[in-house]
A and B are shown apart, each in its own frame.
Chain A
């Protein structure tokens, strides 16, 4: 279930760092990491772009008060909630196949490092297939780079829970990577 993110300060009893307003001018500092998180959540580059855009639009609807150092964790929480909202909305709509991008007339084999891009797509698609709690822990810690404590705050769970979920997410991901590349999968939890 998504968690409420509109009141950024709620639910952090015991943390006494001073609150300050989230600075819209610095939101772009987190764009790349949020984009990767969105991609790993959605499994699709295009959906990730839309998700990040929706997340920023949501955050900028009104001033947000955060404690020091919580910007990224807060943005990840809004991103996650926005993702679930979009999934619910999409489930209520009839599905349509995407149209081809008519502007992509000329391929650029050198600029985009196509092998790396393909690997990224494969990797994030595998992450997107993980069960929600596992995927969210892995996205928060390994994709976005939050500390375990920050991830626990962002996901509103205990730090030990994040760690256990992260362990299991990695085990599943490693198995999936083994399957993808036709190498023998080892034992796991």
Chain B
């Protein structure tokens, strides 16, 4: 391993690997010494690191829900083909081989709480009617037979809109609430309980078990109402607030 030469491809490779931390230790010492003695190499390394940092900062970008749903649709086989056998010829280093394979099978990934929570980032598609005075639930708005709570008078969260989505054969209803410029989304997912992220915290309040976990800047809480999964989430909304909203029974009008 020699000293890096300016403007050589070897120098470029050294700098690229030094910038992202993949340069082997022995080589790294040599290159770092060279960089320390050269303003030009320092500048080039700064550029490398700036680009690396910029790209890595966006590695948390997730595929949107619409794409997740489309992928599921693609990944679902149209019909079970049983044990039908296909022949697939492959030319490779080992020579021509014929593989006997079971037909493309398998199912689809299950809908999760995290998937349902991504609906919070989608727009509402309809407005929400105001309830009569002192009524703790929103009128004419139910999912799986369950009403959505009216939180404005008690907590200051005004229901601003609603959207409906069909996901994996389930009719998801999401109501959006707003307070002081912050927005939260409350989704009811009919059917069997959705899996929650491993490591989610468990909180029991007012006899109701709430699971909570962060997803990037969004805080997600989930619990069950009559066996159906409810998901409430918001950005920059404290856990206590979300939990208090989640377990509010509305004087018995919000069934659990």
The chain A residues found within 8 Å of chain B, CB to CB, are 7, 9-10, 12-15, 19, 21, 23-25, 27-28, 31-32, 34-36, 39, 45, 49, 52-53, 56-57, 60, 62-63, 65, 103-113, 119-120, 123-124, 127, 138, 141-143, 145, 147-148, 160, 163-164, 166-171, 173-175, 177, 186-189
Contacts and interface: CB of A to CB of B under 8 A. Distances in A.
A32 B62 contact: yes
A127 to B, nearest CB: 8
Contacts of A168: 12
Interface stretch (B43-51, B130-138, B242-250): B43-51
Nearest to A187: B43
Given A28-B109, A164-B12, A52 B91 contact: no
25 contacts: A9-B90, A9-B93, A12-B92, A31-B71, A36-B59, A49-B70, A53-B71, A60-B75, A65-B99, A103-B125, A108-B183, A109-B181, A111-B185, A112-B121, A119-B58, A163-B13, A164-B12, A170-B19, A170-B48, A171-B51, A174-B46, A174-B47, A186-B47, A187-B43, A188-B44
Interface string B171-211: 00000100001110100000000000000000000000000
A7 B15 CA distance: 35
Band of interface residues on B: 35 or more
Contacts of B59: 36, 143, 145
B56 to A, nearest CB: 7
Given A31-B68, A145-B59, A163-B16, A175 B47 contact: yes
Given A60-B104, A110-B236, A28 B68 contact: yes
* Shortest 10 CB-CB contacts between residues of A and residues of B: A170-B51, A35-B63, A174-B47, A13-B93, A167-B16, A167-B12, A9-B92, A111-B121, A142-B55, A163-B13
